[in-house]
Amino acid sequence: TTLAPSIQALVERRARVLGPAYRLFYETPLHPVRGEGVWLYDAEGRPHLDAYNNVASVGHCHPHVVEAIARQAGVLNTHTRYLHEGVLDYAERLLATMPGELAHAMFTCTGSEANDLAMRIARAHTKAEGLIVTRFAYHGVTASIAEASPSLGKFVQLGDAVRTVPAPDSYRIAPGELGRAFANGVRAAIADLKEHGMRPAALMVDTVFSSDGIFTDPPGFMAEAVEAVREAGGLFIADEVQPGLGRTGDAFWGFQRHGVVPDIVTMGKPLGAGHPLAGLAVRPGVLAAFGRECRYFNTFGGNPVSMAAGMAVLDVVEREGLMAHAQRVGSYLRAQIAKLAERHSLIGDVRGAGLFVGVELVTDRRTRTPATAETARIVNGLRERQVLLSATGEHASTLKIRPPLVFTEAHADLLAETLGQVLAGL
Ligand code: PMP
């Protein structure tokens, strides 16, 4: 592809200044300069339908959030070793969205730090090292968590104490067998740790398996795996960085779909609507050992502006009924895409919960062979038609649709219609 000169100049400047480690989305990188609701506007003023952004979960530049951040920034913002009601008010409100067992909250700036802290807490509590994750998981960028993020592929070596388990692939495993199959993977990982003289500290999973390919059904399938890790003395850490904050529609947090109460819940991305706000919720009994043995200080984590942002986001989710909205619009969107599947055999499976939707593409429905190249062409084709989404899964063959929660049926129609055009033009 030849890029417009202004885009080419930015791409080159980026490489020159930021160096070689970064990657951009799309063959034609997007240059957004303004956001509003579900729309991202590029420098030419062209609107792009954002069907991917869960950071802007309550919609880009929601006025209530913008106002709350600006107001607090004008009053006080500082590090977090002073008394301040903001962190207490937000912690209480966030914890109130969870089962009562999760009674302490701690704050960080990124999901990676939250997962890193969760691992330290789990290891302090269990006096064990092992960490079990899914085969194509992503949990973050710190050294210890990158080592537990196999989706980074050849760019990182898994840690000695890390074991991976096959994802609960609901497209290839029957619903009645899925929970058992997933739990058997966890049991095998525990056995392998044992063979190497280790015990599991935790099973850490993204509760919608977003980087493994998005697997949400049948509800409850995770319960047996959680039981298996607990029987071996390990904890269950639910990584809610992607599924959390009402997105799955049926519940506020992804783990609730499975009827389990985690020992630690980590959160990030959508909490601050773009303001860096992340953290974890934990059972007091699980935090006790870490509290005795360590001290924790995170300069920015829990600062007054972040807390104001988080409060305002929760206001919007509640006031605008975004969880029920996600449930309704997500079902509608899946139905619209399922209709496309009647005409396009490339669509193998349409799945997900609420506004977390996966569309797995296959070259052959009988063999369910991943259509990796076609998926990339569709993602880029949609981008050319100003609809933004991406691909996920081990073979990058599942369209990942995860829009701001203010996405409506009309937006779903536009997405499905455009997807239909791109599929027809392949
Ligand atoms: N966990 C999951 C499931 C994620 O998707 C991500 C980010 N993509 C992280 C953790 C890390 O979050 P952050 O980028 O804020 O460090």
Q: Where residue 329 falls among pLDDT bands split at 50, 70, 90?
A: very high
> Based on the structure, what is the number of domains in the chain?
2
Domain's final residue, options 270, 299, 319: 319
Apex CA 36: angle with CA 17 and CA 18, to 5°? 5
Reply yes or no on whether the pLDDT at 1 is more than 80: no
The tally of CA atoms less than 13 A away on the side-chain side of residue 361 is 25
Contacts of 140 (CB under 8 A, 6+ apart): 110, 111, 112, 113, 115, 116, 146, 149
CA of 200 to the centre of ligand 1 (A): 22
Is 221 part of any domain? yes
pLDDT exceeds 80 at position 71: yes
Residue 237: phi and psi, rounded to 5, are -105, 120
pLDDT at 305: 98
417 Cα: distance to centroid of ligand 1 (angstroms): 31
146 and 98 share a domain? Answer: yes
Instruction: Confirm whether 3 is domain-assigned.
Output: no
- Ligand 1 centroid–CA 113 distance in Å is 9
- Last-in-domain residue among 263, 284, 319: 319
Q: Do the domain assignments include residue 7?
A: no
Amino acid at the residue 330: G
Tokens of 98: 């969870």
Coil, helix or strand for 208?
A: coil
The confidence band for 154, taking pLDDT boundaries of 50, 70 and 90, is: confident
Q: Per-residue confidence at 155, pLDDT binned at 50, 70, 90?
A: confident
Q: Is residue 126 within 6 Å of ligand 1 at its C-beta?
A: no
pLDDT at residue 297, as a whole number: 94
Q: What percent of the chain has pLDDT over 70?
A: 100
Residue 1 resides in a domain: no
Residue range 328-352: average pLDDT?
Answer: 98
Write the pLDDT tens digit of every residue in 157-202.
Answer: 999 999 999 999 999 999 999 999 999 999 999 999 999 999 999 9
**Does residue 103 contact residue 262 with C-beta atoms inside 8 Å?**
no
Looking at the structure, tell me whether residues 343 and 399 fall in a common domain.
yes
Residues ≥6 apart with Cβ < 8 Å to 23: none
Question: What is the CATH number for 344?
Answer: 3.90.1150.10
d(CA 101, CA 287): 12
Model confidence over 242-270: pLDDT tens digits?
Answer: 999 999 999 999 999 999 999 999 999 99
pTM exceeding 0.90: yes
Residues 232 and 169 in one domain: yes
406: its two tokens? 């203010």
pLDDT surpasses 90 at 422: yes
Task: Tell me which of 117, 131, 139 to substitute to probe ligand 1's pocket, judged by most ligand atoms within 8 Å of the beta carbon.
Answer: 139
- Average pLDDT score over the chain: 97
Mutate to test the pocket of ligand 1, among 151, 215, 240, 242 (most ligand atoms within 8 A of CB): 242
Give the list of residues 6+ apart from residue 78 with CB closer than 8 angstroms, or none: 303, 304
Residue to mutate, 112, 133, 267, 306, ligand 1, most ligand atoms under 8 Å from C-beta? 112
Structure tokens, 26: 């799309």
CA distances from 237 to 119, 126, 145, 283, 402 (A): 9, 13, 13, 11, 22
Which one-letter DSSP state was computed for residue 253? S
Under DSSP, the state recorded for 167 is -
Residue 286 lies in a domain: yes
**Atom of ligand 1 at shortest range from CA of 269:** 15
For residue 296, what are the domain limits?
Answer: 64-319
* ipTM exceeding cut-off 0.90 for this assembly: yes
Give nearest CA residue, ligand 1 atom 10. 139
Are both 363 and 418 inside the same structural domain? yes
Nearest to 129 by CA among 110, 142, 139, 144: 144
Task: Dump pLDDT digits (tens) for 96-146.
Answer: 999 999 999 999 999 999 999 999 999 999 999 999 999 999 999 999 999
Residue 8 lies in a domain: no
Domain shared by 172 and 193, yes or no: yes
The residue from 280, 298, 319 where one domain ends is: 319
Interval 334-349 mean pLDDT: 98
Classify residue 115: in a domain, yes or no.
yes
Mean pLDDT of 406-424: 98
